[in-house]
Structure 1
Amino acid sequence: MLTFAPLMKKGESFGKEFLIPFGGEKLGKHPHDFEIGKAFFDSGISEVEVLNAAINLLFILEKQSAMLTLHFNFDGTITVPCDRCNAPVEIPIQSSEKLYVKFSQGGFDTTDEVITIADSESHIDLGPYVYEFIWLALPMKFVHDEGECDQDVIDQLEHYNPDDEDDNIDPRWDALKNLK
């Protein structure tokens, strides 16, 4: 999985609650619970309007002697406008993700699932990763199930949608249909 979270501009913040300290933590697993609502998506980064969100995130920081393992477990819903009728549609989210954090004094060789940070760091900002994992858990199209869209909007779309009839084809092109 390719992650773009490290490329987010400095200063784009999702709140201090996602700034997780690990410097003073003992070795082992350290769970954190987060409630992610609409305000999380109001940062202005997304091009999709989020109407509502109720997502539970169980985050587990697993500290080992030479690295960290970050476990993300999402469960909830996000409400966005339907791509077909523009009425609100509630999309369920259930996803589990894992990232590894290693420490370095020099070069930072970050890959898809491995983040490299400086030895001197004592906190990690989860906000960009949480944001990205939520969007990756969503479908490409936000649409209602068949028959649940706003029928008035669907009727208008069908009214203004040109028919795909072959009657309007220029007869000079008919000969091309026979070529194979």
Structure 2
Amino acid sequence: MKNDPQFDLPIARLSLKTHHFAFELGRAFFEQFDPKGEFIADGNLHADVTLHKTERLITIDSHITGTVRLTCDRSLDEYDQPLDIDNQLLVRYGDEPKELDDDVLQVTPDTLTLNIAQHLYDYIGLALPMKKLHPRFQNEADDDPDSETKLIFSTRPADEKPDDDEPIDPRWAALKNLN
């Protein structure tokens, strides 16, 4: 991914107070990270970024709202997944630029700008559901016993009842007496 200057925060020129930025995240934004659209096909998101700068620390609060275009795992249909994300990034000054933690960065005092595009993309990626289901499948109850898609794990046929007269291995029989 190339650094898009649109997402540069001019931290060196900012005064010691709170600043607000707004970014629109669409198809061009996602193509920078995933040109083939395999992870996120498209999106229509708005990011409100609040930067609070002090002498030793910069706190960047991000609020991202909107929808992303995903592919359903079950039907392979595309659908819009709504997102509402809040994250915080801490930036402190140090001797060398490095990532100290997932949400803590260290930059040198002479750093002019901080590009937050990768962080916004990561926040969106982490907010996506593990199981991507089209809304028509999300209303199906997983505990519905009549559901045709419910998975049941069993070693005997469903219509066969357990036979209590069947001899049990003595090693397992000893475990039944434990309470």
Q: 1:20 maps to which residue?
A: 9
Q: 2:113 maps to which residue?
A: 123
Contact kept? 2:30, 2:41, Cα under 8 Å:
no
Q: TM-score, normalised by structure 2?
A: 0.71
Residue 39 of structure 1 pairs with residue 28 of structure 2: yes
Give the number of equivalent residue pairs.
147
- Structure 1, gaps ≥5 residues long: 1-11, 149-157, 159-163, 168-177
Q: Output aligned runs, 1:43-62, within 5 Å.
A: 43-45=32-34, 48-62=38-52
Alpha-carbon distance change, 136 to 107 in structure 1, aligned in 2, over 3 angstroms:
closer
Q: TM-score, normalised by structure 1?
A: 0.71
- Structure 2, gaps ≥5 residues long: 139-147, 149-153, 158-167, 173-179
Computing the radius of gyration from Cα coordinates, the structure with the larger value is 2
Residue 72 of structure 1 pairs with residue 62 of structure 2: yes
Secondary structure of the structure 2 residue equivalent to 1:134:
helix
CA distance in structure 2 between the aligned counterparts of 1:67 and 1:91, rounded to whole angstroms: 34
Contact kept? 1:13, 1:127, Cα under 8 Å:
no
**Larger helix percent:** 1
Percentage of pairs with the same residue: 23
Alpha-carbon distance change, 89 to 100 in structure 1, aligned in 2, over 3 angstroms:
same
Secondary structure of the structure 1 residue equivalent to 2:15:
coil
- The amino acid that maps onto 2:48 is L
CA distance in structure 1 between the aligned counterparts of 2:105 and 2:34, rounded to whole angstroms: 22
Alpha-carbon distance change, 40 to 84 in structure 1, aligned in 2, over 3 angstroms:
same
Q: Of the two structures, which has the highest relative contact order with CA contacts closer than 8 Å and spacing of 6 or more?
A: 1
- The amino acid that maps onto 2:60 is L
Secondary structure of the structure 2 residue equivalent to 1:71:
strand
Alpha-carbon distance change, 108 to 147 in structure 1, aligned in 2, over 3 angstroms:
closer
